[in-house]
Amino acid sequence: MKVSIITPSLNSGKYIENNLKSVHLGQNDDFSVEQIIIDGGSTDQTLNIINNFKTKYNANIKLIQGKDKSMYDAINKGLKSMDGDIWACLNTDDLYYPGIINLVVKEFNKNPELDVVYGYPDMIDENGEFIHTLYLPKFDLEFLVLRGYCLTILQPASFLHKRVLDKVGYFDITYKYASDYDYFIRVGSKCKMELVRKSFTQFREHPAAITCNEKTRSVQTEETISISKKYMDEFKIKQRSLLLDNLKLYLRQVSFKNFRYMLERTNELTRTGSWRWFLKERIR
C-alpha cells in the first residue's frame, strides 16, 4: 500500500524540515510514502531544505513548482499527480505524530470498505509548545452542515482512500479559505468514515497562519455560511436547535484549556460580524 501526503508550500523555511521528518522518518517498511510538495514560488530557503532533505534521507518527495490560484488549487494539482492508495493533506507548519501513518494503514487494511480514517488534532503554538487536544465527536453530517465549521473533522488529521476522488471529485477552488469544509460535507454524504480516538497531528497556530489571520477568518466565515446554507437546501436539512449538540461538543473538551479554546473560537463570530446570523439560524 502506498500513502501520498499532499503539502502546499510557500516560503515555509521556518517549519518545513520538521514537517518532512514527521512524514518520512520513524515510519515502517510495510508501506511506502510519497510526499508531493506544491510550491507556489518560495523565495526563502524552503526549496534548499526540501532538496537537501531528499538527498540526505533518499526521501520519496515529488516537488511541483509554479504559481497557483489558491491553496486548494495547489492541493488539487498534488492530488492529480499522486500514486497513492491513501492520501492526506498536511500543511508545511503541521506535523504527524510518529507511527500515525502506520496506524492509519492498519485501519484501512483491517476494514477495506473504509473511505476515511481520522483522529484528533493537537494544537501547538509557533514554538511547538502544546496548547490542547481538540476532541472531535463521531462524524455527524447534519451537525457539520448546521454548525457551520469543521468541528467534527479536520483536514490535517484525516486520511482518505483514493476512491474518494471518484466519489466526490476535487476541492472547489471557488472557495478561497473554506473549501475543506465544503469538501468534507461532500465526503461525509457519500463515504464511510471512522474516528480513531487518538491524536494524529500537531496543528500549529501562529500569527502567520491563515487560520489565525482576522481578515482571512472573516472571509472564511462568509464562505462557511454560504456553504452551510447551500447544503441545508441540497440535503433538505431542516433548521433545529443546536444547543444540546454544542453542549456535548463543549463537554468533550475535558480540560480548562480546551474549553477556553472553544469559547475563543465562538467569540470569533463576534469579531467577524457573523454572530447575528449564527445566533438566529443555529443556536435558537
66: left (phi over 0), alpha (psi -120 to 50) or beta: left
Please state the domain extents for the chain.
1-93, 111-156+165-284
Decide if 74 contacts 90 (C-beta within 8 A): no
Separation CA 215–CA 11 (nearest Å): 20
Higher pLDDT, 48 or 248: 48
pLDDT digits (tens, 9 = 90+) for 54-81: 999 999 999 999 999 999 999 999 999 9
Separation CA 108–CA 105 (nearest Å): 5
pLDDT digits (tens, 9 = 90+) for 190-227: 999 999 999 999 999 866 666 556 677 788 889 998 99
Q: Cell 469544509 sits at which residue? A: 181
pLDDT (0 to 100) of residue 15: 96
pLDDT (0 to 100) of residue 251: 60
Closest by Cα among 156, 164, 89, 163 to 119: 156
Closest by Cα among 194, 201, 174, 175 to 88: 201
Residue 23 has pLDDT above 70, yes or no: yes
Closest by Cα among 71, 128, 54, 58 to 97: 128
Separation CA 234–CA 228 (nearest Å): 10
Q: Cell 501513518 sits at which residue? A: 101
Which grid cell sits at 61?
Answer: 518527495
Which grid cell sits at 229?
Answer: 446554507
The predicted model gives 227-236 an average pLDDT of: 94
Closest by Cα among 174, 279, 170 to 227: 174
Higher pLDDT, 99 or 241: 99
Separation CA 246–CA 265 (nearest Å): 13
Residue 284 has pLDDT above 60, yes or no: no
The CATH class that applies to domain 1-93 reads alpha beta
Beta strands 116-124 and 193-204, pairing class? parallel
Residue 85 has pLDDT above 80, yes or no: yes
Q: What is the CA radius of gyration of the chain?
A: 18
